[in-house]
Amino acid sequence: MKYFPISNTLFSKNRKHFVENMLDNSIAFFNSNDCYPVSADTTLPFEQHRDLFYLSGINQEETVLLIYKYNDSNYEEVLFLTKPNDLLTHWEGERLNEEKAYSISGIKTVYWLEQLDVVVKKIMQNVKILYLNKNEHYRAKVETETREKRFNDWLKKEYPNKDLMGSNSILQKLRSVKSPIEIELIQKACDITEKGFRRILNFVKPGVWEYEIEAEFSHEFLKNRSKKFAYSPIIASGKNSTILHYIENNNQCLEGDVLLLDVGAEYANYSSDMTRTIPVSGKFSNRQKSIYNSVLHVKNEATKLLRPGILWKDHFKEVGKIMSSELLKLGLLSKSDIQNQTKENPAFKKYFTHGVSHNLGLDTHDYGDLSCPITKNMVFTVEPGIYLPKENFGIRLEDDVVVQENSNPLNLMKNIPIEVEEIEDLMNS
């Protein structure tokens, strides 16, 4: 992998915390993702299942993690890997052996995949409860049969008399609160994103193409040990900046346009998620600047509201009030608009059409139970926006922040330029 080695204490602690939430005499399995085919003999680039990575640090395909809890104080953890051989090494490179797998994961017991049936059958004799893992994220829409699904079906068929429980509810709780090492990894991803943003500030000018800007980001990310964008980048100039998920990135940037950049580098599978909006010509118009400063004010106030104890939905309501006030000042809403709004359809939704925040971590839209109060060391984005399709521009600003106990959240993107004057100065330096 391109990233520097991560201390296996992270993954050992993650497993320990997971076991603490398991019932006695239970077993849990976690699978790597498939290598998904495109056509002929090509596949998509491999992406490790984030739950398996969270618990083991292993980035190799065809991997299974087994965790067996006997009682309060005793548990066993086993990795199953593809057995290395000279032919495989010649064609595809070195595979993990027992020593390397232990160094990465902290797991001492390693078997080859061909031994899985025998090992599992022996352990299952004393197991009462079987934890099955599956994707239960509130945004998930899974239409492809996964390796995890096939494995779960096999387990249920082979061991039909076990009580079934889900692992995801445990992981939703654990993964939403980040350890110091995880916060450092997310900070690294944010720092790489900063390098990309500073690079393009001197590159953007009237006449450049959106895909050229995407290429500049990609160059800087790879140069700094990020293997890719954390998600499909949005490089949206002019009217494209009013399209929330514009990813074509194939238009030319024109004088007078704003350029909305929603991009983030990954690092060691951890995501960053930044949005900045800049003037293509190097200077905002008065209208663009007034909208920009209102969005920046809302972002700053919304960040302060992210405190332990608040509910995600209540945070959004409070931010909606701040946005409504700004839209009134801008003349985009009238007092009658506010008076006639409904709970289901608040007036600000005409111009601010999406959520203000989401969990961030191993996934860009990371795990987190939105019905539970926000707690210390959760990482969130803060990303308000105002979109004016009739005026051919939209403004969105986004930072990644860590919730703190008795202070404002820690902004992991505090060094990325965001003030109008700084952006204009850098673009014209």
Helix H or strand E segment including 259: strand 258-263
pLDDT of residue 1: 87
- CA–CA dist 82, 111 (Å, integer): 9
- CA–CA dist 196, 213 (Å, integer): 10
- CA–CA dist 408, 26 (Å, integer): 41
- CA–CA dist 81, 119 (Å, integer): 13
- CA–CA dist 380, 365 (Å, integer): 9
Q: Which burial class, exposed, middle or buried, applies to 344 when counting CB atoms under 10 A from its CB (0-12, 13-18, 19+)?
A: exposed
Strand, helix or coil at 166? strand
pLDDT in tens, the chain (429 residues): 899 999 999 999 999 999 999 999 999 999 999 999 999 989 999 999 999 999 999 999 999 999 999 987 789 999 999 999 989 889 989 999 999 999 999 999 999 999 999 999 999 998 999 999 999 898 888 889 999 999 999 999 999 999 999 999 999 999 999 999 999 999 999 999 999 999 999 999 999 999 999 999 999 999 999 999 999 999 999 999 999 999 999 999 999 999 999 999 999 999 999 999 999 999 999 999 999 999 999 999 999 999 999 999 999 999 999 999 999 999 999 999 999 999 889 999 999 999 999 999 999 999 999 999 999 999 999 999 999 999 999 999 999 999 999 999 999 999 999 999 999 999 999
CB 201 within 8 A of CB 424: no
Helix H or strand E segment including 342: none
Strand, helix or coil at 417? coil
pLDDT of residue 88: 85
Q: How far is CA 89 from CA 81, 94, 95, 115, 178, in A?
A: 14, 5, 7, 21, 36
Number of neighbours of residue 423 by Cβ within 10 angstroms = 21
- CA–CA dist 388, 17 (Å, integer): 47
Strands 258-263 and 274-279: antiparallel
Cα 32 off chain centre by: 18
Strands 109-112 and 129-132: unpaired
Q: What is the dihedral sign for C-alpha 38, 42, 43, 45?
A: negative
Q: Which burial class, exposed, middle or buried, applies to 69 when counting CB atoms under 10 A from its CB (0-12, 13-18, 19+)?
A: buried
Q: List the domains of the chain with CATH numbers.
A: 9-176 (3.40.350.10), 180-427 (3.90.230.10)
The number of residues making up the chain comes to 429
- CA–CA dist 238, 281 (Å, integer): 12
CB 206 within 8 A of CB 255: yes
* Bridge partner residues of 266 (DSSP): 271
pLDDT of residue 195: 98
| Both structure tokens of 32 | 């790597």
